[in-house]
Amino acid sequence: MNEDEGHSRQPYRLWSEKEVAFLKKNYPRRGSRFVARWLRRSKGSVRRKAELLKLDRQRYRIWNSYEIGYLKQWYAKRRPEEIARRIKHSRGGVSRMASILRSMIGSGKRSSRSVIRASAVIEAMLR
């Protein structure tokens, strides 16, 4: 049996500057699968290059003041799924943020008033 038989490994291909730029822009938010498909590279190759560049996955999206305001306004009136669709966060993310906001002011109720008070604290922290 020849050395190369039975191996489906592709020959090593150097990373172009454009590919590295694409990786830096897209890997943190979209992950190795997306980048690998787009660049036609293996997920392992993408992960290795990301590791060498010290890139890390961003597992969540940071909330901005508009999204906190929207949550504050509608949390008591709409289901978390509806809010999540509107502000492009996951349902779990909406529920977690509402929980964080409520815990900051010590209210366990699902009320817009408790979310409003807590969001004012978070907005002050963001300034």
| Rounded percentage of the chain residues whose pLDDT exceeds 70 | 70
Residue 10 has pLDDT above 70, yes or no: no
- Average of pLDDT values for 63-92? 88
| Rounded percentage of the chain residues whose pLDDT exceeds 90 | 36
- Average of pLDDT values for 74-99? 89
Is the overall model pTM greater than 0.75, yes or no? no
- The distance from CA 112 to its chain's CA centroid, rounded to whole angstroms, is 26
41 and 91 part of one domain:
no
Distance CA 98, CA 63 (A): 12
11 located within any domain? no
Q: What is the pLDDT of residue 29?
A: 80
32 and 76 part of one domain:
no
Distance CA 123, CA 102 (A): 14
77 and 108 part of one domain:
yes
89 and 41 part of one domain:
no
> Based on the structure, what is the number of domains in the chain?
2
Residue 127 has pLDDT above 70, yes or no: no
Phi then psi for residue 58, to 5 deg, are -95, 110
Domain that holds residue 31: 17-52
43 and 82 part of one domain:
no
Phi then psi for residue 50, to 5 deg, are -60, -40
90 and 112 part of one domain:
yes
